Each structure stands twice: as C-alpha cells, then as structure tokens.
A and B are shown apart, each in its own frame.
Chain A
C-alpha cells in the first residue's frame, strides 16, 4: 500500500502539496483522473497513477490537456467524480472545452486543478490561470497550505456537485512542490455505478438559456462562499493596514507580520474562495481599515476583483487607499517571498526593521558559487538533443541561407541557449513551432530565401503538432520538421505517451508509430540516429535543399536518463592525452568550449580534456567531433 492510500483517519503525514491534492481526491472518492504532464502539476496524476489499481481508479496521461479535461468531464457526465490536473499553459489548451462545459454543466463532482508557475521557472511563460474562472463564471479555490490543499480538493467535489459546475483549484509552485503536515481523513467505501442519463443531454447550445442557468448557478456559488471556512481574518479589530491575500501569499504575509511584530497593527484577510468573492465578508473587513495591501502571486486578480466589489459599495464603505501591484508596492512579475512582503508592509506602516542588505542576494549567490562548480543550464550528458542541435548547426552553416529553426516545448527548448548552440529562434506554445512553419513555409512566394525548420518532441507531437502537420501538407507549406523522438515526455519526468508502449499505470499499450503517422499526413519521412552526427548532417543538408513540400526527419534516440535505467552505457570513452590538442591552434577546446557535454572536463593543469566517468553516459558523440581523434570510444 502506498502512503497516499493508507486508510488511517486522524494520522498526520508529511505530504507534498500535489500529494495532498491527490489524497483529497481519494478522500472525495474520485474515480477518473486525467492530465497531460507539466510542472508544477505533474505529481498529482503521477501519485494517483501509483495507487490506481489498488484504489480502483482509471488514471491516464492524456495526449493533451483538453482531452484530459474531456476524459474527466465524461466521468462526471456519467455521475462519477473526475479530477483533471494541468499547468497554467495547459488551461489555455483546455479552455475551449472548459468555456463550453461551464454552460452545459456537469453531474458527478468535477475538479480541475491548475498549478501555476510564478516566475516561469519550468515554463515557457508566466501566466495567472485564475482569470479563466472569472471568464467562465466558475468557482475557484486557492489552497494556502498543505492541509488546505487536501481539504479544498475534497470540498471542491462537493461544491461541484451542488452547483452542477466544474470547480477550479489554483495552486502555485510553492504550494504544489513544498511539503508539510497533513492530517488524513477517511477513504470512502462506496463504489458508484456510472450511467449517462440520456434523457438529459449535456450541451452548451443553445447558448443563451444555458448562460442564464450558469448565472443562476454562479449566484448560488456567491452565497455558498460567504460561509466558507477557507476564508478567515486574523488581526486586531481596527488594524492600521489590512492585508488581503490568497494562496501562497498567506504564509508570506503571516511570516512578515510576525517578523515585524505588528500583529496588533496589521490584520490579514485570507481568502480561499477567490472567485466568486465572498462579497459581504470582504466589505465587512474593508470597513475595518483605511489602508489595504494585496499580496498574491502573478497577476492582481484578487486586487482587481476586491476593488470592483469596493467600487460598487464605496459610499457605504468610505474612502480607502489600496496598495499592491497597481501601486507598485508589490512586483508585477516573479515569485513572492517573505522578504518582499515584509518590506512592503514595513514601507506602509513605518515600523523599525533592519531590511536585508540590498546586496544580500548577490553575496549569497557568490558564497554558494564557492561551494559548487559553475554550471550553465544545459542538456544532460549524453542527451540526444545536443547531438541533434550540433548537426543542425553544422548543416545550417554549410547550407549558408540563414535557415530558421522554429522551436517548441520540451527539453529541446534549451536550443535557445548555448547548450543547443543557440539554434532555436522561436519558442511559444505546444506545437507552435510546426504551426509557425506552416506560415513561414509559405513565404518563399514572396521571396523568403531562408530554409524553414521546425523542431518538435515526440510527446509534443501527439499533443498539438498533428493538426499543423495535416495543415502543412494540405496547404502546401515548405519546411523540414525535425521530430526529436526520445521515447519519453522527458522534461516533466518521463511520463509515457502514445509512442512509448505503456500507460500511466504501467500497463502495456499499443504504440502509435510516428513515422507511419507522419506519412499518413503526406510528409516524406526519414529516420536517423542523431548520435551518427555525420549521417545526420548529410541527411539534413539533403532535405534542406529539396525545394518543396513537408519533409520530416525523425531523430530517434532514447532519452539518456531513460536509457540509463535499463541499459548499460554504449561505449567506454577516453581522451588520449597525447593526442589531445587542448587550446592550441587546430582545436582550441572544441569539446569543452563549444560542444560542452557535461561529461567532458577541462583539466587546467595539463591543458587537456578528460572524461568525467561518473556522469559520462558513453554516447560516443564527442569522439566524432574531436578534430584530433583524441577521444576514443570502445564498445562497453
């Protein structure tokens, strides 16, 4: 039995926020769980997949977030409880369905967890997903700690069923990925039988009557949230400053108020139901203070909505001064931390406080740099993407027409930086590289002379690239698609996908063959192993110089981290010290200065390159690029 599925009511366990959400769903009796992986949300479904069999659940990694939400919604339509999880970008993909689902409504409890990534640490963008709740008139909950993450998830299923609407939970990195104590409740015993009630269709159309029903449901939600225990106030009756906060902002605010020792001067209104707002509760607390400070991560969602409630009731509430992102007291980008909140409060109430020195961050950075070797953000040792981008770099340089590489979402997004030799020139959404290629690949009729290349990973291909490939062939675009097939959704934690032959729960699954799929879409397809750099360059050059149509080159080589788990290294690699040219004319450290695989080390003392045997995966690519043939590889 997994720790997440233990039937031990009253027991306190240490859980990651995402595990607490998963446990909440189990306690709510969830039956169907679906997601497309994306940090910081991936552990929710990952955790549930591990207990799927034992708990009698259907858990799947769907091909994309829209399909995932549809899978979970279908369970709800048949009366079961469904959970869907995704990261903020995922909601953009799922939003088309979501903004029809709000009108059709649902039956069994349906909860959509969206984990936002403030600062975009592991995302292509920084986005606040909460706006979708407002857009769709859907209830939104924001957990502020780990216990709440579990309780809110459970509660969200109840609210969903009472309103007949999907309920959104918005987490952030520091809630999803941090750990804290969680007290467990009972797991349900009943197993409901699904049935789709065919006498009552579920559709958004006709829109107006359904929109009216949605508004009625939304009004009921407004009443419900007034009583929610997830909203509370802590502080004096008449505070000098009222902090209004939600989610991760609660802990930061609490820490700041305690640090400044101003519990008797500053009050905190902590809101867990941030859409719709508990308007009466908010107005009653606004009356307590003249100065209001908003603490929340990413956009001023709470700030704007509270101001909206205030504007409607300002005569009754009286004049207020608002501080937050709009006033510039809180940064409009990036993650918050206790220091930012402490300084904002201190600025507003003038309390003696020794702020952290301005150069603290830099000094800390420098001190830590003494302890760890400097390392750039880059591909792992033996990563096939490094070999691929090397070949792309060489082929584009030789081709000489300033070819453009349109990027996509995955580990290979690092193609923007030095690890991918700066080859990638655009990066947007899942599948956007090939979509952009559909457009750029039409411009030669206007005189565009640059060859167009799109890169796309295997998981991303199933997720969002297939429509663009169909479009490309249909509309006659000219480009070369590089399908970087590493047989994993590597960046988010090696989740399986339709090409890997297994499911989320580890069961065997049919493999959907990428090559055959691309050929069905009318593309000329070739396959190469990127570790064969010379062959890859040759094929790339040949395909680039074919004038018309959609060409696909599948660069097939398993992710080095996946390979390491089930096979021994391919080669034993060694640098022959006598042959290594080092920094002299003829080499100038090509391997450690330009190729930069972390498995290669530069030995300052001897002025020669060496292999770091602890991390070298034995791919042998460096032996191909060494100009002096000093890097020897032998079958391991």
Chain B
C-alpha cells in the first residue's frame, strides 16, 4: 500500500497470491459464494474474471493475509501465543464404544461417533462431512442421519472442498451445524467467523468444529491416477497410513490389502501443505488424531468450552471411553506439531525471495517466529 498501488483483496488477489503460487488447499471456502469459482475433481477453477477489490473468496481463504493473532483472538479471546499446538483445555486418548465406528473409521472412530452423538442429542441438526467413496473424490455433504455419518467415516488423505457444502446448502435456515475439517478448513472457518464482510452464509450457525490432525494431504487428480494405475481401477474400500517409522499406505481394494510406501506418494502432496503451520487443527472446538503406538485409539484435544462440554456429555452417555494421554505421547505430539511449524517457516522463507517469514500468507510477529524456530517453551505449558 505504501506505493499507492491498489492491492486486490478479491478474486484477482486470490489468483495472484494463491492459485498462481500453488498455495490453494482446495478447502472449498471460496466455492459457491459466487459464479466465478468452481471445483472440479479436487481443483478450484476460476471460470471468469471478477474485478471486485474486496471479496469473500479472498477473505475466507486460509492462504491469504491471515492475521493469526486476530483470528485466534476472535476464536479463543487470546492471540497466537500457544505456539506448540494451540490453545487447549483438555487432552486425552479416546475411542468410540460402539465398534461400528471403529470398524469403518480411522483409529478410534471418535469423530464419527461424536457427530452422531451431537445429532442425536440435538446439539446440531446437520453435519458437514466428507464422504469416503470408492473414487475418493472429496466433496462436502450435509448429513443429518447416522447412516450418512457412517458413509463419511474414514480418511481419504485427499484435500477437498468440504466447506463448499456450507456455502451452497440447501439450508432450511434454523439448523445448528457441526463441521469436520482439516486444519486448513478449520482455519478457513475461523476466518469466515471473524470476517467483517457481509456473510450471506450460515457460518454463524456453525456451533461445532471438529478438526482432524493432518501433516499433509494429497492432490486428488495425480493421486487418484496413481492409485488407479496400481489397483487397475478397482474401487477403494479403505486407506490407512501406518505410523512411523514404517510409514506405509495400506489400500484396501478388490478384497485385498495393497501396501504402498509413503515415499511413492509424496510427489502428490499439495504444495500448499508445505507452508502449513497447523498439524493439530488448532482453531477447532475439538481436535482429533491418532495415537502413536496405540492402534484403535484417538488423541483428542478439547479446545473450547463447547468442545469440552460435548466430550463430557459423550463420555457420561457411554458413547466414548477416554484415558489420559501418556506423557511421552504428549511430548511427542508437541514436538511433531512444532516441527511442522518450523518446516512451514523454512518453506515460506524459501518461497519468499527476500526470505521474509513475517509477511507471507499469514502475519506473525518476529517475536513469535523466533520462539517457534528456537522451540522455546516459555509459555503454553501443556497440562494433560
């Protein structure tokens, strides 16, 4: 702005800063807001030129001018200071008691069964989930029944435009909504909630956000062509990546388990994942991931009163079983989360010609950047 040149905070800016730099996460936050953007096979496609200087596409994107302090302030009432894995109230391991969830879902099935529980309890009237179908094509779907939740259980490791379903509807107008999303999607939701632009979407009725741990996601088109080549076009029943040090992609298809080294699929990781600071979906009510060395269980982080409350009610109702997270696991999680931030900062520095990390798609104070890079634990001490 110092040069007096107009900077677009609309589609032109999005095209230059996000699509042009390969930073689109494919989250879907910009879709179904206007006629200019559409999703096709996991890619966000610009159909026409829009010359608005300011638009929701830019404002909601998790890769455009994210003032992290402001967003965290808006969601948690405090800035981006808990640098390891974001603000939280409780951390534990948990699993669904009903084996129906554990069977189809990843690890402990906590995500699916919490959404089902929230629906049954009337906490939400609709969920937005990503169905896990044979062609893996990710898309958001509004679900209102247990059967539909079950169809969405399990991970596809593919980034997709889940949030489009929120913008598109159809909505009756009264539903309270729960959304399950990846860290980029959770960040986009937080940007939607804290945006000052006229919303025209039901974001203010999103009462529950469950975030999934994520280290990276696949770009749909190259990944699916790779898998189809390997599986001769057979429909995929389940995907699973085994924890380190093995790191194998297990694909269940055609009644058989195919084992593929993660190294082989690395080239299909979306480039936007390399600059992502967030492994544990910090802006959620509840974040859920795997537990290293403990199959069939989830790591669960309650971050807001809403999240904590839901977990308590689910536990009291016998829907989930919880246990403390072992100290070693917690330390490992903090290290892994911080490591992702450091790698992202390195990637961003390499990305920016001037090597600046403070002014990239996010803004972060020099002080916080230093803390992340030095790994100092002077605040945000984890208490399980």
Inside 8 A of A625's CB, which chain B residues have their CB? 35
**Interface pair B33/A586, CB less than 8 Å apart:** yes
Measured as residues with beta carbon below 8 angstroms from the partner, the interface class of chain B is 20 to 34
- Closest A residue, CB atoms, query B52: A588
**Interface pair B47/A585, CB less than 8 Å apart:** no
**Interface pair A398/B38, CB less than 8 Å apart:** yes
Q: Secondary structure of the B side of the interface? A: loop
Closest Cβ of chain B: how far from A438's Cβ, in Å? 29
Inside 8 A of A224's CB, which chain B residues have their CB? none
**Interface pair A627/B35, CB less than 8 Å apart:** yes
Inside 8 A of A398's CB, which chain B residues have their CB? 38, 40, 45
**Interface pair B35/A587, CB less than 8 Å apart:** yes
Tell whether B54 is near chain A: CB-to-CB under 8 Å.
yes
- Closest A residue, CB atoms, query B33: A586
Inside 8 A of A394's CB, which chain B residues have their CB? 38, 47
Query: With A400-B43, A400-B45 in contact, is A585–B54 under 8 Å at CB?
Result: yes
Give the distance in Å from the alpha carbon of A394 to the alpha carbon of B37 in the complex.
10
Tell whether B48 is near chain A: CB-to-CB under 8 Å.
yes
Give the distance in Å from the alpha carbon of A594 to the alpha carbon of B10 in the complex.
17
**Interface pair A585/B55, CB less than 8 Å apart:** yes
**Interface pair A588/B45, CB less than 8 Å apart:** no
- Closest A residue, CB atoms, query B50: A588
**Interface pair A585/B48, CB less than 8 Å apart:** no
Closest Cβ of chain B: how far from A166's Cβ, in Å? 52
Inside 8 A of A400's CB, which chain B residues have their CB? 40, 43, 45
Most buried by A among B36, B48, B55: B48
Give the distance in Å from the alpha carbon of A378 to the alpha carbon of B75 in the complex.
51
Tell whether A393 is near chain B: CB-to-CB under 8 Å.
yes
Tell whether B34 is near chain A: CB-to-CB under 8 Å.
yes
Most buried by A among B40, B46, B198: B40
**Interface pair A590/B45, CB less than 8 Å apart:** no
**Interface pair A585/B34, CB less than 8 Å apart:** yes
**Interface pair B33/A585, CB less than 8 Å apart:** yes
Most buried by A among B43, B45, B46, B57: B45
Indicate which residue in B34, B40, B49 contacts A627 across the interface (CB closer than 8 Å): B34
Tell whether A397 is near chain B: CB-to-CB under 8 Å.
yes
Inside 8 A of A587's CB, which chain B residues have their CB? 34-35
Closest Cβ of chain A: how far from B174's Cβ, in Å? 21
- Mark A388-408 against chain B: 1 for CB-CB distance below 8 A, else 0: 000001100111100000000
**Interface pair A588/B47, CB less than 8 Å apart:** no
**Interface pair B198/A585, CB less than 8 Å apart:** yes
- Closest B residue, CB atoms, query A626: B35
Give the distance in Å from the alpha carbon of A588 to the alpha carbon of B11 in the complex.
11
Residue count of chain A within 8 Å CB distance of chain B: 16
Inside 8 A of A583's CB, which chain B residues have their CB? 52
Interface residues of A in 582-622 (CB under 8 A from B): 583-588, 590, 594
Give the distance in Å from the alpha carbon of A400 to the alpha carbon of B200 in the complex.
29
Tell whether B56 is near chain A: CB-to-CB under 8 Å.
yes
Inside 8 A of A627's CB, which chain B residues have their CB? 34-35
Tell whether B261 is near chain A: CB-to-CB under 8 Å.
no
- Mark B47-86 against chain A: 1 for CB-CB distance below 8 A, else 0: 1111110111100000000000000000000000000000
Closest Cβ of chain B: how far from A235's Cβ, in Å? 59
Give the distance in Å from the alpha carbon of A393 to the alpha carbon of B45 in the complex.
12
Inside 8 A of A397's CB, which chain B residues have their CB? 38, 45-47
- Mark B170-212 against chain A: 1 for CB-CB distance below 8 A, else 0: 0000000000000000000000000001101000000000000
- Mark B265-301 against chain A: 1 for CB-CB distance below 8 A, else 0: 0000000000000000000000000000000000000
Interface residues of B in 313-353 (CB under 8 A from A): none
Inside 8 A of B43's CB, which chain A residues have their CB? 400
Interface residues of B in 200-256 (CB under 8 A from A): 200
**Interface pair B35/A590, CB less than 8 Å apart:** yes
Give the distance in Å from the alpha carbon of A397 to the alpha carbon of B48 in the complex.
9
- Closest A residue, CB atoms, query B48: A594
Give the distance in Å from the alpha carbon of A270 to the alpha carbon of B56 in the complex.
69
Closest Cβ of chain A: how far from B60's Cβ, in Å? 11
Interface residues of B in 99-115 (CB under 8 A from A): none
Indicate which residue in B45, B46, B49, B197 contacts A585 across the interface (CB closer than 8 Å): B197
Closest Cβ of chain A: how far from B44's Cβ, in Å? 11
Inside 8 A of A590's CB, which chain B residues have their CB? 35-36, 48
Give the distance in Å from the alpha carbon of A304 to the alpha carbon of B36 in the complex.
56
Inside 8 A of A588's CB, which chain B residues have their CB? 34, 36, 50-52
- Closest B residue, CB atoms, query A594: B48
Give the distance in Å from the alpha carbon of A397 to the alpha carbon of B55 in the complex.
21
Closest Cβ of chain A: how far from B86's Cβ, in Å? 30
Give the distance in Å from the alpha carbon of A586 to the alpha carbon of B55 in the complex.
8
Inside 8 A of B51's CB, which chain A residues have their CB? 588
Inside 8 A of A586's CB, which chain B residues have their CB? 33-34, 56, 200
- Mark A366-399 against chain B: 1 for CB-CB distance below 8 A, else 0: 0000000000000000000000000001100111
Supply 17 further A-B pairs (C-beta < 8 A) apart from A394-B47, A397-B47, A585-B34. A397-B45, A397-B46, A398-B40, A398-B45, A400-B40, A584-B198, A585-B55, A585-B56, A585-B198, A586-B56, A586-B200, A588-B50, A588-B52, A590-B35, A590-B48, A594-B49, A627-B35
Using a CB–CB cutoff of 8 Å, the interface residues on chain B facing chain A are 10, 33-36, 38, 40, 43, 45-52, 54-57, 197-198, 200
13 contacts between A and B (CB under 8 A): A394-B47, A398-B40, A584-B198, A585-B33, A585-B54, A585-B55, A586-B56, A587-B34, A588-B36, A590-B36, A590-B48, A594-B48, A594-B49
The 4 closest A-B pairs by CB, nearest first: A398-B40, A627-B35, A585-B55, A594-B48
